[in-house]
Amino acid sequence: MEDDAAELKRWLRERAQQLGFHLFGVAPAVTPTGYHRLVEWIEAGYAAEMDYIPARLSAYQHPDGVMDGTRSLVMLGFPYRTVEPPPADALEGRVARYAWGTADYHDLIHRRLKQLKRELAARDASIGVRGVVDSAPLMEREFAQLAGLGWTGKNTLLLNKLEGSYFFLACLLLGVDLPADPAHHSDHCGTCTRCLDACPTDAFVAAGVLDSRRCISYLTIEHRGPIPRELRPQMQDWVFGCDVCQDVCPWNRRGSVANDPALQPPVPDQQLDLVGLFDLDDDSFRTRFRKTPLWRTRRRGILRNAAIVLGNQQASAAVPALCKGLADSEPLVRGAAAWALGNIATGAAWAALRERSAIEQDPTVRAEIDAALSSCS
């Protein structure tokens, strides 16, 4: 039986590598040692509005919460580094590397996991198996470390000596015992604090502790309401996600380059055109972004973020697009556009705010317009 398990592991490793997974390791199905830290993190309020995490808290205690009868976890890493990002010009916004492509990485990786599942079923249909990509109540980084894939950096991301941190984590939960790999117990961050020091919003409470309420990735993707005013300037040019703590990490000077066409940016030397976003209605936004990670925020979230970035850039050429935002059907977009126009503070911006002030009914948007008019004056 041990020989059979070792052979199955060898076969899984070989097939996973052929399917594009550069990292492979096996962990036993146990209660993750960091579960108590997850509980403390939630109790401190650092999960912000991500209610789906505390709602499934008990499931994080053991992989059985994801698949009953789990005995082993095959942890996988799939690289997503492509070209080096250009700087954002005026009227452009930066997008986190993982979201540059033309496909949602969940779909991209699930197809490969399903292929592995089908081939495994052909070998032995009696083995229970489930593939997951960061949507199940599973502490992936804990199990990846237990499987020997790397260590958790001070920015809370999994780091690998060869791959850095620009890779997606995926997992196959198996109802069979496989030989486990040695856990990665050492930490190779040393005294380096570049990731902590570089964070634009000071989102790290301590090394390894992230307050989501201040994280640009959380604010631009998960947060559904108006972004706190004091954090808007610190968002800089980030319109979707943030890579600052990864970009400054010395371990990311190396790493594999992803060659999957679906991960490549449509225009390698450009960032996201922000002005054009304000011409998209719901249908055209769906057509353009439905199969990409940017769909997660929906149109109102992206336009909110775009307005804030344009307000940070203070380019007068953005005023016509922001005037469209000021008349948008979504209060969230109107409020962000009002703040941005107040930041730009040209005569045209002031006039648009005054005109909208006379007809705006939403109290939150009215407060944004009043504050923006005060800023303009």
Which residue in the list 68, 89, 124, 134 is annotated as catalytic?
134
| Cα-only R_g, the chain | 23
Average pLDDT over residues 135-160: 97
Position 269 confidence tier, pLDDT thresholds 50, 70, 90: low
Amino acid at site 276: G
Nearest to 337 by CA among 324, 348, 347: 324
Q: Give 23's strand partners.
A: 77
Q: Is the pLDDT of residue 3 over 80?
A: no
Q: Is the pLDDT of residue 1 over 80?
A: no
**Domain 274-377 classified CATH 1.10.1740.10?**
no
Q: Which residues of 162-188 are buried (b: 16+ CB within 10 A; e: fewer)?
A: ebbbbbbbbbbbbbbebebbebbeeee
Three-class SS state of 209: strand
Distance of CA 358 to the CA centre of its chain: 39
Q: Which two tokens stand for residue 301?
A: 């979230």
Q: What is residue 224's predicted lDDT score, i.e. its pLDDT?
A: 95
Q: How many angstroms separate the Cα of 257 from the Cα of each of 175, 219, 350?
A: 33, 28, 47
Q: Verify whether residue 202 is a known catalytic residue.
A: no
**Mean pLDDT, rounded, of the chain:** 95
Q: Is the pLDDT of residue 20 over 70?
A: yes
Query: Long-range contacts: 116-119, Cβ < 8 Å, 24+?
Result: 116/12, 116/15, 116/16, 116/19, 116/172, 117/172, 119/15
Distance between CA 288 and CA 285 in Å, rounded? 5
Q: Is the pLDDT of residue 250 over 90?
A: yes
pTM of the model: 0.94
Three-class SS state of 238: strand
Distance between CA 271 and CA 87 in Å, rounded? 8
Q: What is residue 254's predicted lDDT score, i.e. its pLDDT?
A: 86
Residue 221's φ and ψ, nearest 5 degrees, are -120, -55
Nearest to 330 by CA among 308, 298, 288: 298
Q: Is the pLDDT of residue 156 over 70?
A: yes
pLDDT digits (tens, 9 = 90+) for 299-345: 999 999 999 999 999 999 999 999 999 999 999 999 999 999 999 99
Q: What is residue 189's predicted lDDT score, i.e. its pLDDT?
A: 96
Q: What is residue 289's predicted lDDT score, i.e. its pLDDT?
A: 93
Q: Is the pLDDT of residue 268 over 90?
A: no
pLDDT digits (tens, 9 = 90+) for 58-109: 999 999 999 999 999 999 999 999 988 888 889 999 999 999 988 899 999 9
Distance from first CA to last CA of the chain, Å, rounded? Answer: 79
Boundaries of every domain in the chain: 1-270, 274-377
Distance between CA 91 and CA 319 in Å, rounded? 11
Q: What is residue 309's predicted lDDT score, i.e. its pLDDT?
A: 98
Q: Map tokens 């705006």 to a residue.
A: 360
Q: What is residue 377's predicted lDDT score, i.e. its pLDDT?
A: 67
Position 2 confidence tier, pLDDT thresholds 50, 70, 90: low
Amino acid at site 157: L
Q: Identify whether the C-beta of residue 258 lies closer than 8 Å to the C-beta of residue 170.
A: no
